[in-house]
Amino acid sequence: MRLLFCGDVVGRSGREAVTSRMPALRRRHGIDFVAVNGENAAAGFGITEAICREFFAAGVDAVTTGNHLFDKREIVSTLASEPRLLRPANYPAGTPGEGAHAFALADGRQVVVVNLMARLFMDALDCPFAAAEAAVQAHRLGDGAAAILVDIHGEATSEKMAMGHHLDGRVSAVFGSHSHVPTADARILAGGTAYQTDAGMCGDYDSVIGMKKEPAVARFVRKVPGERLSPAEGEGTLCGVFVETDDATGLALQVAPVRLGGRLAEARPPD
């Protein structure tokens, strides 16, 4: 199975990078399933139901989120009614929506997506490792789940790496999100799980992590509040990670970074 995970989509530039390229990308590279982290898609802060529909219409199968999920309050009702939109599984019990969901492909295979949020330097949520454990006990790789993809949304590289090793051999892939910069450590771990610490950002890289440069720089230089940050509006890069799994085991056969358009050097999924 061939899967693609795209990192945090930031603003209109990021949305256009994903929606304009996704249909052809899926066709050219035979991608079976696409998940996208959409928590910054609405002007950099949160996501709306309308934006979810844009992603689904372009060929995205699942949308994951993170600490900006509830920046648009309207999304609460969407979480309760739209299973393709996930929230971190380690939110407290009773939070609307699902943190893990099994998606059925047209051929009958199931892809499970697990959305987690780390805790170091992040909002204080329940333990992501306990939530991950519950998810893999409920959805076992090779026993109903043809592939399991985990988005660990977090600040600390150490915590994301620890999650990768914790789940190694039990899921197809663990990919990090949140820091908006792609890391260069795409690899297959010892137990067969594909891993990359951060998938990067879908957005304009002539920016400060997707936001317009001048007000972002001014905050660091002057150390006083300034104008509200807003997304950069130049050409965006679609940034993510590709993984191909073994149909027999669900474990990874190959993993590769993906970068299309904008200012970063291009990297395409293998044919």
Q: Answer yes or no: 68 catalytic.
A: yes
CB-based burial, 104-135: b 16+ in 10 Å, e otherwise: eeeeebebbbbbbbbbeebeebbebbebbeeb
Among 68, 101, 139, 153, the one annotated catalytic: 68
Sign for the CA dihedral angle at 179, 37, 97, 255 comes to negative
Residue/partner pairs of 100-106 with CB below 8 Å, 24 or more apart: 100/135, 100/138, 100/139, 101/62, 102/139, 102/144, 102/145, 103/33, 103/61, 103/62, 105/32, 105/33, 105/146
Going by C-beta distance under 8 Å and a sequence separation of 6 or more, which residues neighbour residue 147? 1, 3, 33, 109, 111, 112, 141, 172, 173, 245, 250
Continuous segment of H or E residues that includes residue 257 = strand 252-260
Neighbour tally for 217: CB within 10 Å: 13
Q: How far apart are CA 68 and CA 47, in angstroms?
A: 8
DSSP 8-state code for residue 71: G
User: Within the chain, how many helices (H) and strands (E) appear?
Assistant: 6, 13
Q: How far apart are CA 124 and CA 198, in angstroms?
A: 21
At 210, is the secondary structure helix, strand, or coil? coil
Residues with a known catalytic role: 68
